[in-house]
Structure 1
Amino acid sequence: MSRNSDFYVEMRRKVKDWAESDKAKESPWVEYILLVPDFFHLLCKLALDPDVPTRSKAKLAGAIAYFVSPIDFIPEAVLGPVGYIDDLALSAYVLNDIVNENPELAERHWAGEVELLATIREILEAADEMVGSGLWQKIKASIR
């Protein structure tokens, strides 16, 4: 888990620094991008939780792999933290089922300061606009 912890710490730093920059003022998705480290943390915690069903763990693992892969639809290496928007949308998509099936399980691991289910729903409603409709369909298809 230390590799994931290092990834998480670095992600949190990058997102925080970016959110305080002038570039962040140009993005309508700043408040969502600030949630990216919390969503990654939740994915990891749920993937390790013995109470999470195996089929859900497979989806969680896919979302985690998408986060840590340098190759994805909107690359962070090119765009900086704005590139996490597709990772966030995919995370919300995967977490939606888990939170709806067992909200207490997800809340147990949620480190964020906002209400989890409402935030997931907001992200899913905005996903078409955030990443583009065609791309959003491809991202969802990659995890089914």
Structure 2
Amino acid sequence: MKFKGFYDVLRENLDMYRGDYELIVDYAPDIFKLLSDLLNDKRINARTRIMICATLGYFVAPYDILPEEIYGPQGYIDDIYLSSLILKKIAEETGQEILEEYWDGEEDLKKVIKECQKRSKEILGKDTEKILSYVGLKNLK
């Protein structure tokens, strides 16, 4: 029996999704992988590691603000919001270059982060505060 990693499960769950939020939800597997890979880099400081771990934990939390079990693929919008916020912070504090080193996606990462941040924030509205509170990063914005 071969076990699948969370990346593979994400990819399978989202590959067939076609809908209003497809443009940002499709990035979830590559963003998850990017965050996971960043943890292996010695240049990532302890504070940033905590933010990454909180974000990865949010991806797998079954009953987060928009549970995938209830909302299906649209339930990843909150995960995308948190991930793009954290990636933006990492780019500001550590540099975009480190993110680019681990990015496996085909699209320009800077544009992906910007688009995901903008669209997910528009969709979520005030729920962004609940998301940050849920993972203990309320003062992050």
TM-score under structure 1 length normalisation: 0.85
The Cα of 1:128 is off from its aligned counterpart by 2.7
Preserved CA contact (<8 Å) 1:99 1:117:
no
Q: Distance in 1 between matches of 2:100 and 2:30?
A: 12
Q: In structure 1, what is the Cα distance between the partners aligned to 2:67 and 2:6?
A: 15
Q: Tell me the equivalent position of 1:50.
A: 42
1:129 aligns with 2:122: yes
Post-superposition offset of 1:39: 0.5
74, 80, 83: which one aligns with 1:88: 80
Q: Which residue of 2 aligns with 1:72?
A: 64
Contact 1:93–1:140 (CA under 8 A) maintained in structure 2: no
Question: Which 4+ stretches in 1 moved above 4 angstroms?
Answer: none
Query: Residue type matched to 1:32 in 2?
Result: I
Matched-pair identity in %: 30
Structural mapping, 1:93-132, within 5 Å: 93-100=85-92, 101-131=94-124
Which consecutive unaligned segments of at least 5 residues does structure 2 have?
Answer: none
Q: Which residue of 1 aligns with 2:12?
A: 13
* 1:120 alignment partner AA: I
More helix by share: 1
Q: CA deviation at 1:123?
A: 1.8
SS of equivalent to 1:10: helix
Mapped to 2, the partners of 1:64 and 1:135 lie a distance apart of 19
Change (3 A) 1:86 1:54: same
Per-residue deviation at 1:95?
0.7
CA distance in 2 between counterparts of 1:96 and 1:32 reads 15
Distance 1:42 1:35 in 2: 11
Q: Which residue of 1 aligns with 2:55?
A: 63
- Partners of 2:67 and 2:75 within 8 A in 1: yes
Return the offset for 1:30.
Answer: 0.5
Which amino acid in 1 is paired with 2:122? E
C-alpha deviation, 1:118, in angstroms: 1.9
